[in-house]
Structure 1
Amino acid sequence: MTVNDPLVPGIDPSIPSVARMYDYYLGGKDNFASDREAAEKMIALVPNIRRLAQANREFLGRAVRLLAGSGIRQFLDIGAGLPTQRNVHQVAREAAGDAKVVYVDNDPIVLAHARALLADSSGTIVVRGDVNTPERILDDPDVTRHLDLSQPVAVLMLAILHFVPDDDKAAAIVGEFRGRMAPGSHLAISHGYTGEVGSRTDQQVRALYTRTATGSVKPRDHAEIMRYFDGMELLPPGLVPVSSWRPEFEGDAEIDLSKPTIIGGVARLPG
């Protein structure tokens, strides 16, 4: 099934999708003309957006590899996006063949592609869910059948919370997941970071995303994003640009928080 298949329900090809724009940044083909047009406008505003998207994807891989290697066997990926290379279940199973993964998204194309990809992948399922209603995700019978939430789980929230514009609501969403996580669970988050972005660029970026199906985007500062890890133990090197989080090459380890970027971190729930 492709984005050109008119039988995929719930899709308006004239409205850009953040998942399909992200796919375009990563060099994917599963996008419409409206997605490409919006993405190109974003590239004009933030010329390094393609590299940021790739760095975010690489951060996800390193975080999953670390967590699977340290004993985590359950992964809940919120806002998973379109399948690409080195997906969560593939990385996790390199370290732990018995790892279980649930992908969650609300984009019909993401769901169609993920289900097609995972049809023959035991231990991995995809469910429809919205980050704005975390309790529905956590109580979804498919999720609770597949994952044992009384045992440690890794909740992955990569580049999704900046699409929740209300600060208190975004914090409450993360708090709902934290409150249901067993001791020893982990939370991985990446988020758009304001840095010293000029107000004009910030306003232009926000205006562009108001025309997407998601409807908004809000980068946040370091303290606002740190709030999501309240009560947890942040793993070294802390909340840093995703390209600087345990990079494979030593030269990428320099931490520069002066510029707009995507920052990320992984934290453990003690107990």
Structure 2
Amino acid sequence: MNRKHVLIIDGMALLFRSFFATSFTGQFMRNQAGVPTNAIYGFLKHLTLANKQFSPDTILCCWDLGGKTFRHEIFPQYKANRDEPPLELLPQFQLIKHIVQALGIENISHPGYEADDCIGTLSTRLSQDHKINILTGDQDLLQLINQNTYVTLLKKGYGNYQVYNLDLLELEWGITPKQLIDLKALMGDSADNYPGVKGIGKKTAGRLLKDYSSIERIIENIEELPRGVQTKIKNDLEMLHLSRKLATIFCHVPLVFDSSLAPWEPKYDVISRSFRDLGCSHLTSLVR
């Protein structure tokens, strides 16, 4: 089999990051129809720079669809603390998908699942035979790292990355990808609004995983733990298991996508025409 290098884009992470990087100025870089395009501009810049730096054979882009997911069904408070997206960002959600399609890149999503789950499913399906590079700003995706899957975290500015493989994750975090799930289950995630075990922070959670390797082993040996830690875990055992489910990226979404992984070969005449039709001719130069 022809082993390919597949770049999977976390579309939501790139779009949000690009919006907030420039929105504070109040300059939203509108297109001919008056629709803000500042997030789209940053997205395209990140995309083209990553393509030049990593030279993938093909690119896929994953999105949230909005609305409730299976995580809301098992924990209604999931992400309930998040504000609504800014008004200037809302019209850019649909416009960027049209632009990505015009670039010849497949948009991938599925009702009831998050972009993370779609990314996890793609990487699980493809990493046995191909090299996978996930471009994101979301550390949650580090749990997907394996021998053939890398996670590239965006850093400040354009073209600045930290590429994580198994060795670097172990060096910097002191844990394996699977242990990252247990770490979040123990300490919770304020951004996603689930508590984990109350009173257990990152330091204690990390020490527990270093000593016992997994939640199962921690529970098996709970009588060995300091009395206060024992009490906290016993009191929140149900939430610990629930938080673990919430933290785990689901890697079996029934996705339909072009599994041929045809090489990405931008057709600039088509791109130019499509961008013009979308009122975004001012962005065409970013992808040349």
Relative to total residues, which structure has the larger strand share, 1 or 2? 1
Relative to total residues, which structure has the larger helix share, 1 or 2? 2
Answer 1 or 2: higher relative contact order, Cα 8 Å, separation at least 6. Answer: 2
| Fold conserved between structures, TM > 0.5 | no
**TM-score of the pair, normalised by structure 1:** 0.30
**TM-score of the pair, normalised by structure 2:** 0.29
Q: Highest CA radius of gyration, 1 or 2? A: 2
